[in-house]
Structure 1
Amino acid sequence: MPGDGRADLRRPGPAAHIVQRLGASDRAGRRSADRLDHLAGQGEGDRAGHRAGPAGPQRPVPRVARPHRPPDRRPRTRPGAAGRQAGPAQARDRRVRRPVRAADRPRPAGHGHRRGPGPPQLPDRARPGDARDRRRRRELVPGRGLTRAARHVRSLPIRVVLATAGSLGDLHPFLALGRALQAAGFQAEIATSAEYRSKIQAEDLGFHEVGPSLERLRADLGMDLAQITQAIAASDVFLFEKIMTPYLASATRQLIAAANGADAIIGGSFAAGAVMAAEALDLPFVSVALQPTVVFSAYDPPRLPKAPWLAPATGGPRLWLNRATIAIGRAATDRWTRPVNAVRRELGLSLTRDNLFFDAGRRAALSLGLYSPLLGSRQSDAPDNFDVVGYAAYDSDLGGPASLPPALEAFLEAGPAPLVFTLGSAAVNIPGAFYRESLACARRLGRRAVLLVGPDGDASAADGAADAIAVAYAPYSLLFPRAAVVVHQGGVGTTQQALRAGRPQIVVPHLADQFDNGARIARLGVGITMARAAYRAETAARALGGLLEDAAMIATAARIGEIAAEEDGAGDAARRIAALLA
């Protein structure tokens, strides 16, 4: 009624349209519409304490008292009694609903809960859409800031926090995604260890320190970087039980503080802390897989040193063997759910039975494979929320525009295409005799060599000769296209940069997903793999000599490179995230 302080929804204002589009109920819509129309009526000014819009900071606007509303005296139905007491008219009223039990909710395909006899099922979480609808109907919550509907009216960007940890191979795709989100109008911030602060800030992205720094890891473990890398290479158990789970509680609390007031959290496959932070803050979570290894499809399983029998299958005994192997792996790693549940209990969250290793991303609002579909396409046993969007390329050294070191540029200009030898950013800490044998191999073939030895590597590895150069770092996107062959460790970032460059590859796996990435490169017909123990100058020279004379492989690598270079995984992922948060 006019003059009673209520918004007239028969002639909706702009905020009412927003709330109706977002699917709010009539009652919640009236409440949110009144608040948002009131905000919109204040013009472009920004409330004190909130971030300024694109036009810059404005003078604070004084608070205006909310109009009084009489209490709602309609009778309420006691939960659980609606089905017994409600009459036909009341049953049609959408305000009267029977509580939905966990058993009544639809379960996503392959969501991984146990079946059959045993302890009772833990209750499922509410569907992501339910939480999003609640947030859309909420305008201001103490400590959380504006919702997306309010941000739309106030012209504030949607704020997303991207959480990652690990080597440059883990950081660079998130930097690419953050830049794509920023270009799309989002406010993108990256939460990771302190070592990457300057690089992230150089890209004009927000930074939050989350997780232990490398200095703290060294002190806590009593190991140097080479020893830590070697321990991870020897066993995944060390990574999960000595590095990930001991710092899970503190990192989760850091991320909750960093993401306070955000609109979504984006995290890697094993980012259990990011999942819990999103639940604690009632935010959508987007899961990102950086390599096909962590998807664990029975149709396209990873190639693992401890399970060399795993191979692509379409049916029959091979598919059965793959499924049985994955089931055994799930049972062997179920113990890692206990430390996750300990943190969930401290945060007041419901317990989970999801396997940290095998169920990553299944409960996310959106799950994306941020790698090339040439390495692994989406399989039929993937969760409904998952898709492969392509590689997110980034390889600047210090942030900002990428460039080659002047000495390396001069070397490349001075002669024919060299052989490039690199161990990425993790295996480079445990090089062994790789660079010495590589230089000897190149000289056996009479070829020039580029050795990427890492920031702590031996800059004298090329021994000052004119036929070789050793540098700490070079952007792969600028170096690899000028190489004859790329010899590397098989990290997923290095592998995809060589793929985009259209050059044949020799993969010498050292740890983690590198074995699987090498196997996928061999299946594509653009390279071969060599065991680390067998990598010697004479054997490497024979393999390299064969690749340099293999016209079919060189042509295949060039053709595949043209396809890979057209991928824009970061841009595609940003568009899907924007659609999720619209």
Structure 2
Amino acid sequence: MPMTQPVMFQPKPSGACTQTSSPLVILASTGTGGDIFPFITLGQGLLERGLRVLLLVPAFHEAIVLAAGLPCQTFGTHDEWQALLNDPDLWDERKGWGVLWNGLLPHLHAIRHIVQSLPADQSCVVLAHPLMVPMAALARSARPDLRIVCACLAPANLCSSHDMLAAGSLRIPAWMPTSWRQGLWKLIHKTLIDPLTLPGLNAARRQHSLPTVPHFFEHIFTAPDAALGLFPAWYASAQPDWPTAFAAGDFVSTALTGQAPFSPELAQFLANGAAPIVFTPGTGHQHAARYFNTALKTLQRLGRRGLFVTPHVAQVPERLPASVMWQAHVPFSALLPRAAALVHHGGIGTTADAFRAGIPQLIVPFAYDQFDNGLRAKRLGVADVLLAKRLSVRRMQQQLAHLLDSHAVDQACGAIAQKMAQQPALPWLLDRTEAVLFAHQPVNSAATDAPALDETAQYQPERA
């Protein structure tokens, strides 16, 4: 398995490391920027608190982790991840899971290799992106007492049958009985998820005499010792079918320390006219030419200025008028308060950035949790949803015009921005994260509760 070690964690010699020394926290994530940035922010905070931290990410993201000053180990190669991004099926709501999983499959032993390299008396815990949970569970064949916490970035990660707003692009009506929703989830897992994921996962588990996993997402829910929601309870409240040992958290800012300010060209563009409408399909999307072409025509019809944000310039129209600018990267925490609206894919981090800025959102979901995030933002009154497969200039123009002109939307945006400003700061979330990682957190509690952990509420995680 190809592994690079840019700032490889060096364990202390066995005689110098005891159970009373600071435990190693492995933060394991995969995906595009929105999946990586929250782990970087948490890693920086935990490191500043004196904890030993190691980020495990695809090699493609090595540079941003190192720039954040964090110890890092990578799996795979830059070319492997670039090939994954090159696959248009990555953004297909039915095929995307298979693309992601096939990219992870050759590297399922990455966490196991890390824990094997540690002295036996070096304590270690894992905070894992949901897709990295099977990798963490495999590591238990080397360390059966390994504590695993699943970091749920979005409510859709939890596959609830109670607060189920969408199944891919299919919107679920409120009147649908819970039993029907449960049946729909079973059908999705049986036909779309399990056949793609279980053969490779169980082959890897058999190598270490671990029991066969019958259901992929059930494994993600039952293997961890606890789950931490990286979103507030007002965005999605705990449901009866969520993991018992669930702790409510908060959104993690995507603003990284050390991010460059606006380029001189962008600063001048923002100063020389009305607030632009910002368009982005997400950092990893490089098959969005139709999206940007539609956006340009929509701006021209509305007579508005626009800003296109994507690192993949090849998908942006070759000739842009003076009223429209392209930028590869812009810190949204600084940009969005100066924007009129945001049109985006529905990534949870981008959605939260727009909440903070108090601006309307037109969410154009392609796959994954984007559909659910879009409908949650719409339910809050600050957004509308336009499915990517139904994208047209007419629809985008109509929905943007409504969002920009609606007094009710403007009031809702202000209310949500105020709610975001009143949320606990990062130190509270770091307290919460530490508590969950080291098994003294409250479970199923409100965002500001801090009672001692009820150990009897813990479910029993899967063990080797």
Post-superposition shift, 1:224?
6.9
TM-score, normalization: structure 1?
0.67
Question: Does residue 504 of structure 1 match 2:360?
Answer: yes
Q: Aligned pair 1:448/2:305, yes or no?
A: yes
Assess if the C-alpha contact under 8 Å between 1:370 and 1:390 holds in 2. Answer: yes
Amino acid at match of 1:453: T
CA contact 1:255–1:274 (8 Å) conserved in 2: no
Q: 1:183 aligns with which of 48, 56, 78?
A: 48
Q: Could you tell me which residue of structure 1 aligns to residue 146 of structure 2?
A: 283
Contact 1:392 1:568 in 2 (8 A): no
Mapping 1:301-312, distance limit 5 Å? 301-305=164-168, 308=170, 310-312=172-174
Distance 2:156 2:118 in 1: 29
385, 402, 406: which one pairs with 1:546? 402
Match of 1:323 in 2: 182
* Residues 187-238 of structure 1: per-residue CA shift (max 9 Å, x gap): 221011112222112222100012x2240356xxxx5733255465551452
Counterpart residue number, 1:204: 69
The verdict on how the C-alpha distance between 1:401 and 1:243 changes in structure 2, with shifts beyond 3 A counting, is: closer
Q: Distance in 1 between matches of 2:326 and 2:194?
A: 45
Q: Cα deviation per residue 1:77-108 (whole Å; 9 max; x = unaligned)?
A: xxxxxxxxxxxxxxxxxxxxxxxxxxxxxxxx
**Cα deviation code 1:356-401 (max 9, x no counterpart):** 22442433222111124343221122222112201111234xx624
SS of match in other structure, 1:503: coil
Shift, 1:241, TM fit: 5.2
1:275-332 alpha-carbon deviations (Å, 9 max, x no partner): 22255223211111111111011111251236x253457xxx6112112222333444
Distance 2:424 2:43 in 1: 13
Partner of 2:220, secondary structure, is coil
Structure 2 Cα separation of the partners of residues 331 and 468 of structure 1: 45
- The equivalent residue for 2:413 is 557
| 1:437 pairs with one of 276, 287, 294 | 294
> How many angstroms apart in 2 are the aligned matches of 1:474 and 1:159?
33
Alignment correspondent of 2:460: none
Aligned residue number for residue 247 of structure 2: 387
Question: Residue 158 of structure 1 is aligned with which of 23, 45, 62?
Answer: 23
- Going from structure 1 to structure 2, the CA distance change for 1:402 and 1:378 (only over 3 Å counts) comes to farther
Q: Residue 535 of structure 1 aligns with which residue?
A: 391
Matched, 1:342 2:203: yes
What stretches of structure 2 of length at least 5 have no aligned partner? 1-9, 441-464
Tell whether the 8 Å contact from 2:309 to 2:329 is kept in structure 1 after alignment: yes
User: Taking structure 1 as reference, are residues 519 and 229 closer, same or farther at Cα in structure 2, changes over 3 Å only?
Assistant: same
- 2:149 partner SS: strand
SS at match of 1:192: strand
Q: Match of 1:171, SS?
A: helix
Which residue of 467, 477, 483 corresponds with 2:323? Answer: 467
CA distance in structure 2 between the aligned counterparts of 1:230 and 1:273, rounded to whole angstroms: 21
Structure 1 440/338 Cα, relative in aligned 2: closer, same or farther at 3 Å?
A: closer
**Match of residue 79 from structure 1:** none
How far apart are the structure 2 equivalents of 1:387 and 1:198? 31
- Structure 1 residue 559: deviation in Å? 0.8
The correspondence for 2:17, drawn from 119, 143, 146, is 146
Give, in whole Å, the separation in 2 of the partners of 1:370 and 1:226.
Answer: 29
Aligned residue identity for 1:363? A
SS at match of 2:216: coil
Q: Deviation string for 1:18-47 (max 9, x for gaps)? A: xxxxxxxxxxxxxxxxxxxxxxxxxxxxxx
Contact 2:228 2:246 in 1 (8 A): yes
- 1:191–1:255 Cα contact (<8 Å) kept: no
1:417 is aligned, of 275, 287, 295, to: 275
Other-structure match for 1:296: 159
Supply the distance in 1 between the matched residues of 2:401 and 2:118 (Cα, whole angstroms): 52
Aligned length: 423
Q: Alpha carbons of 1:206 and 1:312: their partners in 2 closer, same or farther (altered >3 Å)?
A: farther
**Aligned residues of 2:19 and 2:123 also touching (Cα < 8 A):** no
Partner AA of 1:292 in structure 2: P
Q: Which moved more, 1:258-267 or 1:520-529?
A: 258-267
Letter in 2 for 1:326: W
Per-residue deviation at 1:438? 1.2
Structure 1: gaps spanning 5 or more residues: 1-48, 52-139, 152-156
Matches of 1:489 and 1:259 in 2, distance apart? 40
Please state how far the C-alpha of 1:163 moved relative to its aligned partner.
0.7
Q: For the structure 1 residues 321 and 295, does the alpha-carbon distance in structure 2 shift closer, same or farther, using more than 3 Å as the test? A: same
3-state SS, counterpart of residue 265 of structure 1: strand
Q: Report the Cα distance in structure 1 between the residues aligned to 2:14 and 2:23, rounded to whole angstroms.
A: 16
Q: Distance in 2 between matches of 1:407 and 1:318?
A: 54
Q: 1:240 to 1:229 in 2, by over 3 A?
A: closer
SS in structure 2 at match of 1:286? strand
- Please say if residues 268 and 289 of structure 1, whose CA atoms lie closer than 8 Å, have aligned partners that are also in contact: yes
Distance 2:101 2:30 in 1: 15
Identify the residue that residue 13 of structure 1 maps to in structure 2.
Answer: none
Contact 1:509 1:515 in 2 (8 A): yes
Q: Check whether the contact 2:26–2:55 (CA below 8 A) recurs between aligned residues.
A: yes
**Is this contact kept in 1: 2:24–2:124, CA < 8 A?**
yes
State the AA in 2 paired with 1:196.
Answer: H
Report the Cα offset of residue 262 of structure 1: 5.2
* Conserved 8 A contact 2:346-2:370: yes
Which residue of 497, 511, 516 maps to 2:372?
Answer: 516
- Measured at CA, do residues 512 and 522 of structure 1 come closer, stay the same or move farther in structure 2, by a change above 3 Å? same
Deviates more, 1:277-286 or 1:170-179: 277-286
| 1:446 maps to amino acid | G
Superposed, 1:4-43 pairs within 5 Å as none
The answer for the alignment partner of 2:130 in structure 1 is 269
Point out which structure has higher relative CO (alpha carbons under 8 A, 6+ apart).
2
The structure number with the bigger radius of gyration is 1
What's the secondary structure of 1:528's corresponding residue? strand
The Cα shift of 1:470 comes to 0.9
> Residue type matched to 1:557 in 2?
C
Distance 1:215 1:486 in 2: 31
SS of corresponding position for 2:53: strand
Provide the TM-score with structure 2 as the length reference. Answer: 0.82
Check 1:295–1:195 CA distance in 2 against 1; reply closer, same or farther (3 A cut): same
Separation in 2, partners of 1:530, 1:50:
50
Query: Contact 2:356–2:416 at 8 Å: present in 1 too?
Result: yes
Secondary structure in 2 matching 1:280: coil
2:153 maps to a residue whose letter is L
What one-letter code is carried by the residue in structure 2 that aligns with 1:327?
A: K
CA distance in 2, matches of 1:273, 1:178: 19
1:477 positional shift: 1.0
- 1:251 aligned onto 2:107: no
Structure-2 separation of matches of 1:297 and 1:354: 19
